[in-house]
Amino acid sequence: MRATFGLGRIAGVRIGVHWSVLLIFAIIAFGLARGRLPQAYPGYAQVLYWVAGFGAAVVFFASLLAHELAHAVVARRNGVLVDGIVLWLLGGVARLKSEASNPAAELRIAGIGPLVSLLLGGLFLLCTWLLALASAPRLLGEVVAWLAGINLLLAVFNALPAAPLDGGRLLRAFLWWRTGDRLKATTGAAWAGRVFGWVLVILGLVVFMRGDGFGGLWLALIGLFLISAATAEGRQAQLRGALAGVPVRDAMTRTPLTVPGALTVEVLLTDPLYRSRHSALPVTGEEGSPVGLVTLDRARSVPPGRRGEVTAGELMVPLSRVTVAGPDDPLADLLPRMEPGAEHRVLVLDEGRLVGILSLSDVSRTVAWQMKADPGQRQDR
């Protein structure tokens, strides 16, 4: 899940928002302003219902952000790399670049999210009681009560033992601790996630047939998402198992063709030297060290009249935003950090020197080779 736009950083963690957040934001605000609030406390001006609805939606997403930020902070404290947080249609996700090193770390990272939601729900519940004692406006009390309920529901739902929910991570930590095998634990949690997803789909269809069209479709949508995410997680676990013990050097393309940062786009696109099957090329500085990555698609997007002026260095993705690995790093540990697209190639550096480049197609070829290899002849590096 990629962010459509960024909101900056909190505690050093990059925060992004997917466009689908606007949809759920509108649904929450509309549902409260035109449904729950006027029904519970009629007689207020319509503008107050809308202000209360939008305010509740903003605080709700702030609660989601706190939930995911807790995951990210605890993950960093346990040695797990964090790429950022993305808020989207069905909540939020903390993008982790690596995995926990042991079941205890997995337990801490997974458990902190529902705990934060539970604490927020309790805090809003306390505020609801205090507002009632203070005879505060009933509309305000209803909004705070809704926030208490939704955070408690979020805590309970996320604690369900099914991947990719936090409860699925807790289940994986337990299975990992019991079996000592992270792959088997992940497979078990993914299976539980698929089962739970199908339960929600069936329940959604039943609700839909009984007349609650929106509620039924929403349950089915969540169920389908869980099935898809759990299946992807299971496949990821199988890939990690197939690549166990394989270093990055065995999959990378060695000594890749490089582009000087001062080279113009015109030369890059017309010189036969750079006409190759590669869609992305490392960019080097004056001393020959890698400074970024340029894609041919980005080069072609430059207007023909400016191609003689724009250089690869101006067009490149800087090294600070490129995924970097060492030749002896475990290839399986790199998988969570890799994404489709030429701009997401991995540069392989050895003591600052470029020695290779890696793409998902390189990983796929390595997996195919590993799967075909005789298990008895596969090396455990």
- Reported as a single tens digit per residue, the pLDDT across 198-248 is 999 999 999 888 887 777 888 888 888 889 888 888 887 777 777 878 899
Q: How many angstroms separate the Cα of 69 from the Cα of each of 112, 160, 230, 357?
A: 10, 20, 22, 32
Residue 29: CB atoms within 10 A of its CB come to: 21
3-state class of 357 per DSSP? strand
Whose structure tokens read 């480049």? 357
What's the pLDDT score for residue 89? 66
**Phi and psi at residue 355, to the nearest 5°:** -120, -10
Distance CA 11, CA 72 (A): 9
Output the pLDDT for position 183.
84
pLDDT tens column, 268-293:
998 888 876 678 999 999 888 999 99
User: How many other CB atoms are found less than 10 A from the CB of residue 47?
Assistant: 9
Closest among 296, 284, 287 to 256, alpha carbons compared: 284
- Answer yes or no: is pLDDT of 377 > 70: no
Query: What single letter denotes the amino acid at residue 351?
Result: E
In whole angstroms, give the CA distance from residue 230 to residue 301: 37
Residue 254 pLDDT more than 60?
A: yes
Residue 3 has pLDDT above 70, yes or no: no
Angstrom distance (rounded) from CA 141 to CA 136:
7
Tokens found for residue 363: 């990983």
Across the chain, mean pLDDT equals 86
Nearest residue to 83 (alpha-carbon basis) of 322, 282, 295? 322
State how far the Cα of 55 lies from the Cα of 137, in Å rounded to an integer.
15
Residue 90: per-residue pLDDT: 63
**Most confident by average pLDDT, 41-45, 178-182, 262-266:** 262-266
Q: Is the pLDDT of residue 264 over 90?
A: yes
CA 270 to the chain's CA centroid: 38
The verdict on whether 68 is a catalytic residue reads yes
Span 36-40, average pLDDT? 87
pLDDT tens-digit series, residues 77-109? 998 878 788 887 666 777 777 778 899 999 999
Average pLDDT of the segment spanning 151-179: 91
pLDDT of residue 181: 86
Report residue 6 as tokens.
Answer: 């960024």
When pLDDT is averaged across residues 351-363 and rounded to a whole number, the result is: 90
| CA 79 to chain centroid | 18
pLDDT beyond 70 at 361: yes
- Per-residue pLDDT, averaged over 353-380, amounts to 75
Give pairs for 236-240: CB < 8 Å, separation 24+: 236/186, 236/335, 236/336, 237/183, 237/186, 237/187, 237/190, 238/183, 238/187, 239/332, 239/335, 239/363, 239/367, 240/183, 240/186, 240/332, 240/335
* Distance of alpha carbon 294 from alpha carbon 282, whole angstroms: 6
**Residues, the chain, total?**
381
User: Which band of pLDDT confidence, cut at 50, 70 and 90, is reported for residue 314?
Assistant: very high
CA distance 282 to 64: 38
Confidence bin at 379 (pLDDT 50/70/90)? very low
Q: Supply angle C-alpha 71, 77, 78, rounded to 5.
A: 85
Residue 375 pLDDT grade (very low, low, confident, very high; cuts 50, 70, 90)? low
- Reference 153, options 181, 186, 194, 114; nearest CA is 114
Region 296-316 average pLDDT? 92
Q: What distance lies between CA 84 and its chain's CA centroid? A: 8
Name the token pair of 35: 């449904």
Burial class (CB in 10 A: 0-12, 13-18, 19+), 237: buried
Among 68, 99, 106, 233, the one annotated catalytic: 68
The pLDDT tens digits of the residues spanning 24-34 come to: 888 889 988 98
Burial class (CB in 10 A: 0-12, 13-18, 19+), 48: middle
